[in-house]
Amino acid sequence: VYILIGLSDGVSGNRHHGLDPYKFAHTLISSCLEETDRIIGSSSMRGLVHRAIRCVEKRSIFGSATLCLLSIDKHSSYLRSLNIGDSGFMLIRENKLIIRSHPQYHRGSSPFQLSSLPTTNSFTSNTTRLYHDKPSDGEYIEHKIEIGDLLLIASDGLFDNLYEDFIVQIINNNLDDQYSVESLQNVCQMLVQSACHAHIKCDDILVLLFCVVPCSSISIGEINENRKNTSCSSSDSSLSSILVNQNEEESFDLFIFKD
């Protein structure tokens, strides 16, 4: 019984090679959904992503993308994450940053990335800078979560433009004590707007903000209805995200809002 959250950011530079970054990211994240099984420990997280990559390759969908994948076991209240590249997540508890995933880069500014590439000679001779990282190269984190915790998952467009302390400050200063729908949504909008106004790095941005609440506080139907009323700020459309909720008896549930 778990929740699976994923964000994949297609590498936009692949357009120079005739590849569609959104199509690859979307297929990768959809394949993670299709290959979902009970997730316990780092080996099963990496195994899930490995199977997803194989599915993408079988469909001859080519490209590369970063991936941030979170699994939350509702019975044990354990968060397990696998992060490959420069998207990432933050866990905030009682107004303090508890966990922040670490971005991974090759020399220069090229992030770690999962890829599926054509094997023709004409393609490989012109793509010497494309990387082919593995799920085993990703950063795995495991941590207990509690009622009242906040989880933020975002693309590098947020983290490249805002310092961690400023992100936490925006959340703490603008989120009400009831974690209301309007408050969570407003915080997402403020984060995206602040990142855009920073003008440090022009990039598409996706922000997902979650609050761990007692399961009786809100129904999944309400969550899905509220998701319809939010918008994605990704103008580049190379980002894809999922929320999978395996519904049985549970000790808590999650709000999800994105902007």
Of the listed ranges 2-6, 14-18, 202-206, 252-256, the least confidently predicted one is: 252-256
pLDDT surpasses 50 at 99: yes
Q: How many residues does the chain have?
A: 259
User: How far from each other are the two terminal CA atoms of the chain, in whole angstroms?
Assistant: 27
> Rounded to whole angstroms, how far apart are CA atoms 8 and 29?
6
Report the amino acid identity of residue 160: D
Domain residues for 93?
2-258
What's the domain count of the chain? 1
Tell me the pLDDT tens digit for each residue of 133-166.
999 999 999 999 999 999 999 999 999 999 999 9
> Rounded to whole angstroms, how far apart are CA atoms 196 and 250?
38
Q: Which residues contact 235 (CB under 8 A, 6 or more apart)?
A: 204
Give the mean pLDDT of the chain: 80
Tell me the pLDDT tens digit for each residue of 206-223.
898 988 877 655 544 444
Q: Which residues contact 210 (CB under 8 A, 6 or more apart)?
A: 5, 150, 151, 152, 153, 254, 255, 256
What pTM, to 2 d.p., does this model score? 0.83
Q: What is the dihedral of CA 22, 258, 152, 154, to 10 degrees?
A: 20
Residue 127 sits in a domain whose CATH number is: 3.60.40.10
